[in-house]
Structures are given as structure tokens and as C-alpha cells.
């Protein structure tokens, strides 16, 4: 396993649309393990392959407090959505920035697992929000895209300044108990 480096906004590679995963082999297994290790180390509650510059439709998530419930979601497709609520989101690619985003509160998802088996499951609350956030990454979309142009510009300048002054790890730490994905 290896840690992968996480791309940061406004890196244009974060705008790449990911490709469908068609081969479920050992290389995919290694990528999944690397993504999990990178997510746990960040620390974050979710990570899309896009964020480590691998443009395949693959995300990993763990919203548990114990950090022992990893979820691997490949080729996700939302087949039902319900409700709407605002949740504070953060993103490992936009370190130290948090804002409220409106998402569906319940989704039904069809996806592949790491063995290539098709799954259909229902997710609610933070898990549903996190999946929608990660699926946006696969489309080249970031949570800051939902904010106003003015806010986005302010965020970009703040991150530029921080990158000059300190490390991204320190910026991520600035979120305190808040969670990023
Ligand atoms: Ni994110």
C-alpha cells in the first residue's frame, strides 16, 4: 500500500470526468487499498480516485467514528433520491474550507463492489451526502461549485495564500473536529 498525494483546488486535473471501471483485477485492488490508506491518513471520511489523479469511477468512504467501516463504491449510479437538507461539507481537495450544501437525504444506489459484483443499497444522512459529494468528484465537480462566484474567488485566494505560508496538512488540521471528504 502507498499514500497517494491529493490534488488541490483549483488544480485543473480535478475537472476530469472519470471513466467506468471495467476490469476488476489486482491493480484495482491496489488502487482501492491506496485510496483507503490515503483517506484514513488525511484524515477524511471519503475520497474519490479523481482526487489522487486517477480518473476511474471509484470512491472510498468511512463515516464511522471508529474508522473501521470502509465502503468501496465503484461505478456508482443513483437510481432513487428523496428529501433535501443542508449539511456542512468539507473536502480534502479544498483544505480548511467548510460550507453548507443542499443534497438529497436518502438515495438508492447501484454500484459494483471490489470483486465486480453489482450491489443495490439505500443510504441516508451523512453517508448519502458523502456519496453524492464523491460522485460529483467523478464528474469533475467540487462542492465549492455550488457556492457563489464571489465566495469561490475568496476561497481560491485564501488557499493560494495558505499554500505559500504553510503546508496543506496544517490547513487540513485547521478544520479541527469537522470532517472533510
Ligand atoms: Ni471532496
| Å from CA of 155 to ligand 1 middle | 15
Q: CATH homologous superfamily for 12-146?
A: Peptide deformylase (3.90.45.10)
Residues annotated catalytic, as ranges? 134
> Would you say the C-alpha torsion 100, 102, 106, 107 has a positive or negative sign?
negative
- Phi, psi dihedrals of residue 20, rounded to the nearest 5°: -60, 135
Cis preceding linkage at 127, omega within 30? no
| Residue-range domain boundaries for the chain | 12-146
In contact, 46 and 60? CB cutoff 8 Å: yes
What is 86-149 written as a DSSP string? EEEEEETTEEEEEEEEEE-SEEEEEEE-TTS-EEEEEEEHHHHHHHHHHHHHHTT--GGGGS-H
SS3 176: coil
Say how many Å lie between the CA of residue 47 and the centre of ligand 1.
6
Distance CA 128, CA 4 (A): 25
DSSP summary character for residue 11: -
* Cα 116 to ligand 1 centre (Å): 24
Q: What is the pLDDT along the chain (181 residues), one digit of tens a residue?
A: 799 999 999 999 999 999 999 999 999 999 999 999 999 999 999 999 999 999 999 999 999 999 999 999 999 999 999 999 999 999 999 999 999 999 999 999 999 999 999 999 999 999 999 999 999 999 999 999 999 999 999 999 999 998 888 765 666 666 667 888 9
Amino acid at each position: 500500500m502507498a499514500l497517494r498525494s491529493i490534488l488541490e483546488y483549483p488544480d485543473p486535473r480535478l475537472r476530469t470526468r472519470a471513466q467506468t471501471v471495467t476490469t476488476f483485477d489486482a491493480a484495482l485492488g491496489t488502487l482501492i487499498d491506496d485510496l483507503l490508506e490515503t483517506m484514513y491518513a488525511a484524515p477524511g471520511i471519503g475520497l474519490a480516485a479523481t482526487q489522487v489523479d486517477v480518473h476511474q469511477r471509484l470512491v472510498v468512504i468511512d463515516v464511522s467514528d471508529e474508522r473501521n467501516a470502509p465502503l468501496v463504491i465503484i461505478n456508482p449510479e443513483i437510481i432513487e433520491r428523496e428529501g433535501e437538507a443542508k449539511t456542512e461539507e468539507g473536502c480534502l481537495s479544498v483544505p480548511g474550507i467548510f460550507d453548507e450544501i443542499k443534497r438529497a437525504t436518502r438515495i438508492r444506489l447501484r454500484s459494483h463492489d471490489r470483486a465486480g459484483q453489482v450491489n443495490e443499497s439505500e443510504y441516508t444522512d451523512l453517508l448519502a451526502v458523502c456519496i453524492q459529494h464523491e460522485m460529483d468528484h467523478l464528474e469533475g465537480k467540487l462542492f465549492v461549485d455550488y457556492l457563489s462566484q464571489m465566495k469561490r474567488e475568496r476561497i481560491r485566494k485564501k488557499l493560494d495564500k495558505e499554500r505559500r505560508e504553510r503546508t496543506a496538512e496544517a490547513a487540513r488540521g485547521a478544520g479541527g473536529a469537522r470532517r472533510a471528504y
